[in-house]
Amino acid sequence: MPKRGLIALILTLAGLRLIVAYSPPGGDIGSVDPSAAPTDSPAASSTPTPTKTPKPSKAPTGTLKDGTYDGDAIKFKFGTAQVEIVVSGGVITEVKALKLPTAGGYTKRVTTFFQTDIPARIVADQGWKISNVGGATYTSRAYSQSLQSAINQAS
Q: Where are the domains of the chain?
A: 51-154
CATH top-level class of 51-154: alpha beta
End-to-end CA distance of the chain: 71
Sort strands 91-99 and 74-76 into parallel, antiparallel or unpaired.
unpaired
91-120 average pLDDT score:
91
pLDDT of residue 11: 87
CA distance linking residue 114 with residue 28, whole number of Å: 12
What does the pLDDT look like over 45-102, one tens digit per residue? 444 444 444 444 444 567 899 999 999 999 999 999 999 999 999 999 999 999 999 8
Please tell me the pTM assigned to this model: 0.62
Measured in degrees and rounded to the nearest 5, phi and psi for residue 114 equal: -75, -20
CA distance linking residue 107 with residue 97, whole number of Å: 15
